[in-house]
Structure formats: structure tokens, C-alpha cells
């Protein structure tokens, strides 16, 4: 290599600080050593990188292009050095997290934002699961942590959030036109959209399976879209349908026995007594984010 990272750091410091003296101070080096590093860099590349404008050093056109690429390179090196530091302290290089589809998006994004600020060197692999899929991933050792509505046998689960499922249909669905609380017979006459379990072994679909007319789909998003199209009714998590209810596209079904359902989202660790620092931090971030998840809709009634 014709150039060194130290030379590129010197150039970046001169440009960012506005001069050689300021760059020397920011790098804790002498001004002559910074000037020498930049001149050697220009000599090795064969193009001028800086020009003086009064007392301020400014980039040439060539310098602008080259420093743009060097900034990316230096940023990657800084990330590598930060990763090496965290690994030296015992931090995990990578974590895997299984998240059930009922988990509110704002909970996950808030937790990951805080985690990234404190452990940017640790990579996270996230898989989205449905029903017992997250529990199966933990029990098989495929993930380090899971947010799951079920706790597999032999594991401990910490309830961090209550999930409410609402019976919903399009605002123009025939069930809303009956003008009275709905019975089981009313529901059996209409199509229900059911979500398939993502587990590979013992699967169980979510929904009121007494409906003879039903469509089974792979995800909550697909179920919501079909219900929004007026093609059936479904029990869906509050967080998934709250915007559509607020806009009037969907309405909750008034069922005679209430119809509301509740579940919990559990935080489950594959190794509760052997968690590394990054896993403990991520678990803390998920707990903290769950406390800030808002409840926006009234309970439609029922258990």
C-alpha cells in the first residue's frame, strides 16, 4: 500500500478542524507531524489534496473525491476497533433474537435504538415468528433471546407486555349490519382469516377454529390485508389494526360474550444463567421499551 490510515486520518482532521494547528490539537500530535503526513499522502497519490485559502485549508476537487472514500474506510476501521474492544471485554460478537409478529414495532425499534447506542459492535440477527415459532426457536437453541406468546417447557418466561386481540372486520362487512351482538352461529356463516403457526414441529393455527369457512395465511400483515379487503373477519393484535380502526376502515365486532382475547408477550432466554453482557443489555432494552408502549384503544369487552 502506498498510503497509511494515519495519513488519511491526518487529512480528515485538517479538513474537519479547518487547519493544521487545529488538527494537531485534535490528534494530540505536533503540527509538523500532521503536515508531514499530509504531504507524504499527496506525494504517494500524485495529486494535490489541499489548498490554502487564507489561514484555512480547503480540499481540492481531487481531495474532495478521495476523502469521501477515505471517510468510509476510516469509519469501518473505527467500527472494527470498537468491536475488538468489546470482544476483549467479553461482549458477544453476534446475538440472535426471535420475535413474534404480535410484538409492536415501536417496542422493537425503541429497544434496538438504545442497544445500538451502547453496543454498536454487536450484530443482531432477527427472525419473525408466529405463535409457537419463537418458543420452538429457543427450545432448539437457534436463538439467544425470544419475544414469544408461549414459554417452552423447561424455560422461564418473563411477561413484559399484554397483547389484546380484537375481533375485526371491514366497516362494510355483513356482520356489522346485523345490528345486534353476534353469536357463534353468526360467525360460522362467515369466512374467518386464520394465522398459521410458524413452528416446524407442533403447529397450531390462531383463531376461532369452529369457523367452517376459513382461510389460513402465513403472517399477521397478510391477515390484516385480507380483512381490509372485506374478505373475512379475524382476531388480530391491537397494534396491527389500531390505525385501520382509527381511520374507520375496520370496526371491532360486537360479540355476545365480549369476544376480546388477551395474551402475554414473554421474554425468554436460551441461557438465563449464562447470558453475556450484550444479551443482558438487549434484554434490559426490551424490558425498558415495553414499559413505554402506549395503549390507544378501549377494550371491546370480554376476557
User: In terms of domains, do 241 and 226 share one?
Assistant: yes
Number of Cβ within 10 Å of residue 289's Cβ equals 22
In a domain, 270, yes or no: yes
Question: How many angstroms separate the first and last alpha carbons of the chain?
Answer: 69
131-166 confidence digits (pLDDT tens): 888 899 998 889 999 999 989 888 999 999 998 889
Q: Judge if 151 and 22 occupy the same domain.
A: no
Instruction: Examine the domain organization and report whether 139 and 211 are in the same domain.
Output: no
Total domain count, the chain: 3
284: CB partners within 8 A, 6+ apart: none
Cα–Cα distance measured from residue 277 to residue 153, given in angstroms and rounded to the nearest whole number: 25
For the CA atoms of 171, 222, 191, 243, what is the dihedral angle to 10 degrees?
-20
pLDDT in tens, 203-261: 555 554 556 788 988 888 899 999 999 999 999 988 889 899 999 999 999 988 766 68
Last residue of a domain, one of 36, 65, 88: 88
Side-chain half-sphere CA neighbours of 221 within 13 A: 7
CATH number at residue 255: 3.40.190.290
At 275, is the pLDDT very low, low, confident or very high (cuts 50, 70, 90)?
A: confident
Based on the fold, state whether residues 214 and 167 are members of the same structural domain: yes
Q: Are residues 242 and 180 both part of a single domain?
A: yes
For residue 237, which of 159, 133, 160, 131 has the smallest C-alpha distance?
131
Contact call for residues 193 and 231 (beta carbons, < 8 A): yes
Write the DSSP string, 76-142. HHHHHHHHHHHHHTT--SEEEEEEETTS-HHHHHHHHHHHHHH-TTSEEEEEEE-TTHHHHHHHTTS
Same domain, 155 and 167: no
The model's pTM is: 0.62
Listed in sequence order, the residues at least 6 apart from 233 whose beta carbon sits closer than 8 Å to its beta carbon are 167, 168, 169, 173, 175, 187, 190, 191, 192, 193, 227, 253
- 129 DSSP β-pair partners: 100
Q: Is the distance from CB of 229 to CB of 170 less than 8 angstroms?
A: yes
SS3 246: helix
Please check whether residues 156 and 166 belong to one and the same domain.
no
* pLDDT value at residue 109: 93
- The whole-angstrom separation of Cα 52 and Cα 32 is 16
Residue from 276, 271, 275, 274 nearest 91 by CA: 276
Same domain membership, residue 182 and residue 124: no
* Residue 303 located in a structural domain: no
Q: Are residues 76 and 156 in the same domain?
A: no
**pLDDT value, residue 303:** 33
Rounded CA gap, 35 and 199, in Å? 62
Q: Is residue 286 part of a domain?
A: yes
200 found inside a domain: yes
162 touches 262 (CB < 8 A): yes
pLDDT in tens, 92-113: 888 999 999 889 888 999 999 9
* Domain around 27: 5-88
Amino acid at each position: 500500500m502506498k498510503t497509511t490510515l494515519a495519513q488519511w486520518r491526518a487529512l480528515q482532521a485538517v479538513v474537519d478542524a479547518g487547519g493544521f494547528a487545529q488538527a494537531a490539537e485534535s490528534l494530540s500530535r505536533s503540527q509538523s507531524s500532521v503536515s508531514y503526513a499530509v504531504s507524504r499522502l499527496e506525494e504517494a497519490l500524485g495529486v494535490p489534496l489541499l489548498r490554502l485559502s487564507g489561514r484555512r485549508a480547503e480540499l481540492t476537487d481531487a481531495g474532495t473525491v478521495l476523502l469521501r472514500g477515505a471517510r468510509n474506510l476510516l469509519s469501518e476501521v473505527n467500527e472494527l476497533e470498537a468491536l475488538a474492544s468489546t470482544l476483549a471485554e467479553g461482549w458477544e460478537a453476534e446475538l440472535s433474537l426471535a420475535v413474534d409478529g404480535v410484538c409492536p414495532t415501536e417496542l422493537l425499534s425503541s429497544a434496538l435504538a438504545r442497544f445500538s447506542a451502547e453496543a454498536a459492535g454487536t450484530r443482531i440477527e432477527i427472525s419473525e415468528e408466529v405463535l409457537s415459532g419463537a418458543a420452538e426457536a429457543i427450545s432448539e437453541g437457534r436463538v439467544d433471546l425470544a419475544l414469544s406468546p408461549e414459554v417452552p417447557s423447561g424455560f422461564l418466561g418473563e411477561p413484559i407486555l399484554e397483547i389484546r386481540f380484537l375481533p375485526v372486520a371491514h366497516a362494510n362487512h355483513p356482520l356489522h349490519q346485523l345490528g345486534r351482538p353476534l353469536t357463534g352461529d353468526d360467525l360460522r356463516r362467515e369466512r374467518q382469516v386464520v394465522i398459521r403457526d410458524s413452528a416446524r414441529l407442533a403447529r397450531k393455527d390462531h383463531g376461532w377454529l369452529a369457523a367452517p369457512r376459513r382461510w389460513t395465511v402465513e403472517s399477521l400483515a397478510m391477515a390484516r390485508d385480507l380483512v381490509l379487503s372485506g374478505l373475512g373477519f379475524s382476531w388480530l393484535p391491537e397494534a396491527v389494526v389500531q390505525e385501520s380502526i382509527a381511520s374507520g376502515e375496520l370496526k371491532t365486532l360486537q360479540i355476545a360474550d365480549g369476544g376480546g382475547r388477551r395474551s402475554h408477550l414473554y421474554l425468554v432466554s436460551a441461557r438465563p444463567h449464562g447470558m453475556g453482557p450484550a444479551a443482558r443489555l438487549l434484554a434490559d432494552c426490551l424490558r425498558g421499551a415495553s414499559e413505554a408502549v402506549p395503549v390507544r384503544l378501549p377494550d371491546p369487552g370480554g376476557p
